[in-house]
Structure 1
Amino acid sequence: MKNIEEKTIHTEKIYEGKIIDLQVDDVVLPDGEKAKREIVKHPGAVAIIPITKDKKIVFVKQYRKPLEKTLVEIPAGKLDDNEQPLAAAIRELEEETGYTTKELNFVTSFYTSPGFADELIYIYITDTLEKLETPVQGDDDEFIEIIELTLDEAKQYVEEEKIHDAKTNYAILYLHALGRM
């Protein structure tokens, strides 16, 4: 089997932030040449596919500064220090939607941008939502609007690029493949 791994010989930390850290690694390539790799370090994230009793998907509408536009997405957020993905998923569901659940099922996990970042996102699904009597306070700098869509409406949003991120597109394809909505 051919060796295609790169060996790190030096790491320079460039930035440490609230959400991400940035580093530049000097590496030795399989052919012995050297190269630099710019790497975003991320603690990981969760996303939830929340389905109401009347078979609507709960989405959050949120302005995304890097894109300079508003997107419709499934609820999601980063893992806090030493937080387990399941606990983070329940926390994010409550903070972003005002719903909770006693039953979250793991769907999958995937790397969001493996060419430059180590972020791993865990996807969960629930169709046993309960409205919280008292909403949970979310992040102070997060302004979101809740919308509920049928699967067909969500597919239309994909065509209109109102839904235009990987995790949400994955969720819609997953629900479509299940054929249960």
Structure 2
Amino acid sequence: MKHLEEKTLSSQQIFKGRYLKVEQDEVQGPDGKVYYREYILHPGAAMMIPILPNGNVVMVHQYRHAVKQVMLEFPAGKRDRGEDSLVTAKRELAEETGYLANEWKLLTEIHPVIGYSNEQIDLYLAMDLSRTEQRLDQGEFLEVIEVAPKELMTLIQQGKVTDVKTQIGAFWLDKILRGEWN
């Protein structure tokens, strides 16, 4: 696949926000011509699928300004600089939901928006949950709810859960609960 790669000739930061940066690269394409590529640098994130002893999953309702909607999602959060994604997952699960997990399993890593960002989200199964204190960040507003996995799949099928990381996590969970994947 080397014949499809582009060679970066120069790179410049064209925007720097609180945690996102936009880069513009000048590249030489496989055809030898020069092109410009703009993309968002993202610090990475972790998403958790917390499973309660009753088989339900812990989810959150959260307003997402970019789409101007309250979304139903699995809890997730961005990595702090130099932080291992499992540390991120444990921290964010406690902060957002008020749960701790004694058992963790990395399921996969995803790149949800490869056309314009390098964002990578590591998806974890969080099991053997216990309650702790919810500690939301300043300006973070969430509602924590329990959802049965079957109900979650119905909501996805009805177009009521459109967050891609949550959909991917739900499909992984469905395969695991059916015994099709370990």
TM category, shorter = over 0.9
Inter-partner Cα distance in structure 2 for 1:34 and 1:25: 10
Q: Give 2:122's aligned residue.
A: 122
Q: Give 2:20's aligned residue.
A: 20
Whether 2:60 is the aligned partner of 1:60: answer: yes
Aligned length, in residue pairs = 179
Query: How big is the alpha-carbon RMSD for the aligned residues of Structure 1 and Structure 2?
Result: 1.5
Q: Give 2:160's aligned residue.
A: 162
1:2: Cα distance to partner?
5.8
Q: Give 1:178's aligned residue.
A: 176
1:69: Cα distance to partner?
0.8
Q: Percent identity between the aligned chains?
A: 36
1:115: Cα distance to partner?
1.4
What SS does the aligned partner of 1:10 have? Answer: strand
The 5 Å alignment of 1:19-168 reads: 19-132=19-132, 135-168=133-166
- Whether contact under 8 Å (2:98, 2:135) holds in the other structure is no
- Whether contact under 8 Å (2:102, 2:127) holds in the other structure is no
Q: TM-score, normalised by structure 2?
A: 0.93
Q: Which runs of 5+ in 1 are unaligned?
A: none
- Whether contact under 8 Å (1:70, 1:162) holds in the other structure is no
**Letter paired with 2:158:** E
**Which shows bigger deviation, 110-119 or 41-50?**
110-119
1:163: Cα distance to partner?
1.4
Q: Which runs of 5+ in 2 are unaligned?
A: none
What SS does the aligned partner of 1:123 have? Answer: strand
